[in-house]
Chain A
Amino acid sequence: MTPDLVGGLESPDYASHDRAAHEPYTPVFTGDVKRELDELLTRYPTKMATLLPALWLVQRERGWVSEEGIAEVAGLLDLTPAYVKGVVTFYTMYHQHPVGKYFIQVCTTSPCGICGAEDVVKAFVRHTNTGELGLTSPDGRFTVIEVECLGACGFATPVMINEEFIESMTPDKVPELLARLP
């Protein structure tokens, strides 16, 4: 991204990703989050249509979508947990297990592949100490995965860190980028 041209974009709050997966489950949809869901329900003619946005809310609040989260959403939208799980497992962006505080997705599809994306992936794996794609670093900070086409092919290699989109990544810029993450 070109920072001098971009106005009003702030880094999202990553604090929610810190919450441990082992805590006893407390409902997501209370207070403001429930009100967000209620507002979403007015946008669609069926309850079921709010399923994708509702799952996004669960992931935003908890960092991933657990079985309990699935059951809670199912109850609110009059769906079965099995149905909701079927949807969760179809879409790649819902995490079905806890991930690192920083979830790093590196595009390696052909257009980026011919511009050196493989080396960017290797640099991320090396410098985050995750050891392997898909695993989380021992300090819980990083998970690195390869992702299919991020739709920014002219800015090879694009990388997503949580909700933040970074363009034109090269292996030598990786350590500096990681160092600036709080």
Chain B
Amino acid sequence: MGYPHHPHPRETTVLSKHFGEADARTLGGWKKRGGYKALEKALGMQPADIVNVVKESGLRGRGGAGFPTGLKWSFMKPGDGKPHYLCCNADESEPGTFKDRELMRWTPHALVEGCAIGAYAIGAETAYVSIRGEFSESLHSMEQAVKEAYAAGILGKNAMGSGKRIDVHVHKGAGAYICGEETALMESLEGRRGNPRIKPPFPAVSGVFGMPTTINNVETLVAAAPILLNGADWYKKMSLSNPKSTGTKLFSVCGNVQRPGTYEVVMGFPFKEFLYDLCGGPLHGRKFKAVIPGGASVPIQTMEEAEATLMDYEGFVAGGSMLGSGGVIVIDDAQSMVTVIARIARFFAHESCGQCTQCREGTAWTTKILERIRDGEGTVEDLDTLLDIGEQMTGKTICVLSDSCAVPVVSGIKKFRGEFEALIQGRRFHPVTAAVA
């Protein structure tokens, strides 16, 4: 709902309706707003029926990959005699993304409810919410909400009197972007270094503690409750473009824009109107130059691409990028693209877990070369070297952190090559270096 601003009339607030209301954080306040009715309904249904409703709704993972949620849940085979686990990925660290933070700090009970529904649907008795350690406010809200839910009998060995056991535990991370990668998250939960695992086996077969596991993003789980209450058709109808992208999506907007904040729109909303109308357009006297629409690891869009984009999974791909996490970074004409991209590369170099050579070395080399260009020390060969390294970093590692570093670099050079070249050529005209050359 445009938080921290007033809701914009063109938003559709399903998940963000109660952002900014302190009372919504408490169990009493949440129940007043219709909280836990969806869980009550869910506990009266067969788990397979819940999975079917979610499948039918078209809900797709909101963490970045966009995998169909109902299908993911259906991979968990009931009655296999093993403990099942649900992990909620609340390790939101993708630069530009802060929607899950708002969901947890304003509506923690929505996530507790979503976790309980998800756990019941996949036959799990235990759900772990893995929250990044820096989110002190979200951690506090979630711990309070879990405590309240236990005290009220919503969680525990007889959840809402259903006879089913549902436990939800908050797990505090300790500072590692890579733990947002689902297998690294499980490693962290088990008390290990957050090194991603090789897949297969996939988590549904062997996940946390070696048991069948489903990992869902915060926003995905929170969306499950209104879907159960209002039905799959209601959710499916919220789509302005492609039937493969349904429902509402939270977009967190940051950077050089009038009204940064978290907005909720129906899938397929025109990106141009979103940026200029909902978000208020560029800062006074400036112009937008580029947008990174789905967190730092998706391709950079030119304004021409962005303004023609419809905001859904397919629309962002058609517009030369990806929906990703919905973290929209807006860059204006006062910024150097080289500086922006060099800083993104530095982020990935810092966060590489170091298992794979292409990533460990590639992210560091990329950062060094980009910073050299930024500082006017670049050479003409540097751009080809960067593109070559980028290719070596793509599709060759255990997880996609390596690819994520290459993507903004490669797309940045392709779409804003002139800015790189200007800095490199600037060096050539420097009297001292010109003499050496």
Contacts and interface: CB of A to CB of B under 8 A. Distances in A.
Interface stretch (B67-75, B250-258, B311-319): B250-258
Interface string B408-430: 00000000000000000000000
Contact of A151 (B23, B135, B350): B135
B260 A49 contact: no
A51 interface: yes
A87 interface: yes
Interface residues of A, number: 49
B134 A87 contact: no
A156 B268 CA distance: 28
Interface in B342-373: 343-344, 347, 350-351, 353
A147 B93 CA distance: 12
A8 B192 CA distance: 34
B97 interface: yes
Given A52-B171, A110-B340, A113-B340, A151 B347 contact: no
B396 interface: no
Interface string B155-187: 000000000000101011111110000000000
B174 A111 contact: no
Contact of B95 (A2, A46, A53, A153): A153
Contacts of B137: 1, 9, 165
B191 A153 contact: no
B80 interface: no
Interface residues of B, number: 62
A150 B134 CA distance: 7
Contacts of B322: none
Contact of A109 (B21, B343, B353): B343
Contacts of A51: 191-192
Interface of A: 1-2, 5-9, 43-46, 48-53, 55-56, 77, 86-87, 90-94, 105, 108-111, 113-115, 147-156, 160, 163-165
Nearest to B262: A154
Nearest to B133: A93
B190 A86 contact: no
A91 B93 CA distance: 14
A22 to B, nearest CB: 25
Main secondary structure of the interface of A (DSSP, over half): loop
B260 A153 contact: yes
Nearest to A105: B134
Contact of A110 (B25, B174, B343): B343
A156 B174 contact: no
A115 to B, nearest CB: 7
A149 B347 contact: yes
Contact of A90 (B22, B176, B189): B176
21 contacts: A6-B22, A49-B190, A52-B188, A52-B191, A56-B172, A77-B191, A93-B173, A93-B175, A109-B296, A110-B95, A110-B340, A110-B344, A110-B347, A111-B95, A148-B350, A151-B97, A153-B98, A153-B252, A154-B98, A154-B260, A154-B261
A149 B177 contact: yes
B96 interface: yes
A155 B140 CA distance: 19
Q: Which of A1, A5, A52, A93 has the most CB of B within 10 A?
A: A52
A58 B144 CA distance: 22
B237 interface: no
A135 B23 CA distance: 41
A50 B191 contact: yes
Contacts of B194: 90-91
Chain A to chain B: the 4 pairs with minimum beta-carbon distance, closest first: A51-B191, A93-B175, A91-B174, A153-B254
Given A53-B171, A164-B136, A151 B98 contact: yes
Contacts of A163: 136
